[in-house]
Structure 1
Amino acid sequence: MSRLTKQLRQQMLKTVLNHAFADKQKAAQAEVDEAGMAVYMSVHEAHLPIMQQLPDGFCYKSHRFDVNIGGQSHNIYLDGEARLMAYRSNYNRYPIEANDPVGIAYLQALKKQEDVSNERSQMHREINAVLESVHTFKKLWEVWPECKSLLEKFEDKPTMAILPAVQVHRLNAALGLPVDEVQA
């Protein structure tokens, strides 16, 4: 019977959470990346042909830029290669109106990503409570049998000793065993 250590519980918790939330988090991040690229294009699309004709180094390239969407400041990180950026200081962020569909889509994507993160945090607390309430795998399988298929890889099962193929009756005869029959 294997006991659950703190380190083992943490690994098991991470495994369960990744199983449940990895795809949701990737999808939410992809949506944020797509919305961020749409914001980049709405801000820079009209100027890109001119910016691309300028000599190298005239415009800087970056993976992130700052916007002001309806009074809220956001740092948008672009996935992939660095993009051409028009110069703006930290005090002069790219403005986007609050009712602009591109800005609304970006804020909705951020909200969805935050909701997935909050849901994962809530599940983290609940799963941790279950794992902390048990001390052995046997008890864990009794309390939460559905998780066995996912978590049984963490259980150290005792190895069976492979005994030599010895003819026990010949060994008994050579040693004079059992003692009761020999003495009688």
Structure 2
Amino acid sequence: MSRLTKQLREKMLAEVLDHAFAEKQKQATSELILAGEKIYLDVYGDHLEAMSSLPKGWLQKSSNLSVAIAGQRHSVDHGKSKLIGYDHYGKWQSAKLYVGDEQVAIDYLKANEKVQDLKDQRSNMCREVNAVLESVHTFKKLWEVWPECKSLLEKFEQKPAIAILPAVQVHRLNAALGLPVGEVPA
């Protein structure tokens, strides 16, 4: 019977949460980056050719772009590092000010809200799953309390190793060492 250590509980917690949320978070993040790329094109789309023609080093490259949407500042991740205007990645300058009713801004806010909702859901589930894992001290008790998780978490259980006896022929060893062969000491 294996006991649950703190490190083991942390790994098990991460496994359960990744199983439930990893794919959803990956999808939501890719949607957010796609919305960020649309904002990048909205801000710089008409100027990309001119920006590319400038000498190397005249413009900065960044994978983030600062914009203001309906009075709120957002650091928009638009994927890979691209040319941006001077100081358009910091918190003081915004590349563009959106009122909030533009479609590109609405799409970005929806994608951002989806990512944040998933983070909040994961955080809430983290507390609940952690409470279950902390309430038990052995795998046997965990399987009794939460049998549905066994298929996901049984890989963490350490099975006791079966002792493997040596494949040495003792009578040959006795003969080689000059010990009495075949006699059993009393």
Partner of 1:108: 110
* Residues in 2 aligned to 1:67 and 1:92: alpha-carbon distance in whole angstroms: 8
Q: Which moved more, 1:139-148 or 1:49-58?
A: 49-58
Partner of 1:47: 47
| Length-normalised TM-score, structure 1 | 0.83
Q: Which moved more, 1:93-102 or 1:109-118?
A: 93-102
| Length-normalised TM-score, structure 2 | 0.83
**What value does the CA root-mean-square deviation take over the aligned residues?**
1.8
One-letter code aligned to 1:149: S
Return the match for 2:131 from 129, 132, 143: 129
Compute the displacement of 1:28 (Å): 0.9
% identical aligned pairs: 53
Partner of 1:180: none
* Residues in 2 aligned to 1:100 and 1:112: alpha-carbon distance in whole angstroms: 19
Partner of 1:83: 82
Partner of 2:155: 153
In the TM superposition, structure 1's runs of 4+ consecutive aligned residues that sit over 3 Å from their partners are: 88-92, 162-165
Structure 2: which 5+ runs fail to align?
Answer: 168-182
* Residues in 1 aligned to 2:93 and 2:46: alpha-carbon distance in whole angstroms: 19
Q: What is the number of equivalent residue pairs in this alignment?
A: 166
SS of residue matched to 1:58: coil
Partner of 1:98: 100
SS of residue matched to 1:33: helix
Partner of 1:30: 30
Structure 1: which 5+ runs fail to align?
Answer: 166-173, 176-184
Return the match for 1:139 from 138, 141, 160: 141
* 1:65-119 CA distance string (max 9 Å, x none): 1101111101112322x21112246533121221010011101101000110011
